[in-house]
Structure 1
Amino acid sequence: MRIEYVEAVLALVRLVPAGSAVSYGDVAELLGTGGPRQVGSVMSHYGSAVPWWRILKASGQAPEGHEAEALRHYLREGTVLTGAYEAYLCTGEGSWRVDLSTSRWAPTDDAFDQIEAIAGELQRRLRTLSVADDGMSA
Structure 2
Amino acid sequence: MRTEYVEAVLELAAMVPAGSALAYGDVAELLGSGGPRQIGSVMSHHGSAVPWWRILKANGEAPPGHEREALTLYLAEGTALLGNHAEYLRTGEGRWRVDLVAARWAPSEPDFERIDAVAERLERELHKLSVPDDEMTV
Show the counterpart of 2:99: 99
**Where does residue 30 of structure 2 map in the other structure?**
30
Q: TM-score under structure 1 normalisation?
A: 0.95
Partners of 1:58 and 1:134 in 2: CA distance: 42
1:62 match: 62
- SS state at 2:97 partner: strand
2: distance between equivalents of 1:98 and 1:59?
A: 8
1:85 matches 2:85: yes
Match of 1:8 in 2: 8
The one-letter amino acid of 1:51's match is P
> What is the aligned partner in structure 1 of residue 116 from structure 2?
116
Separation in 2, partners of 1:25, 1:133: 33
Structure-1 residue corresponding to 2:71:
71
Give the counterpart letter for 1:66 in structure 2: H
Question: 1 CA distance for matches of 2:61 and 2:98?
Answer: 6
- Indicate how the Cα distance of structure 1 residues 74 and 134 shifts in structure 2: closer, same or farther if over 3 A, else same: farther
CA distance in 2 between partners of 1:65 and 1:35 (Å): 22
Partner of 1:42: 42
Shift of 1:131: 1.4
Please identify runs of 4+ aligned residues in structure 1 that moved more than 2 A: 132-135
Looking at structure 1, the residues matched to 117 and 93 of structure 2 have their Cα atoms a distance apart, in angstroms, of: 42
Report the alpha carbon displacement of residue 133 of structure 1 after superposing the two structures with TM. 6.7
Which segments of 5 or more consecutive residues in structure 2 lack a partner in the other structure?
none
Code of the aligned partner of 2:65: G
Q: CA RMSD in A?
A: 1.1
Corresponding residue of 1:125: 125
- 2:19 is matched with 19
Equivalent position SS for 1:94: coil
Q: TM-score, normalised by structure 2?
A: 0.95
Deviation at 1:132, TM superposition (A): 3.5
Which ranges of structure 1 fall in alignment gaps of 5 or more residues?
A: none
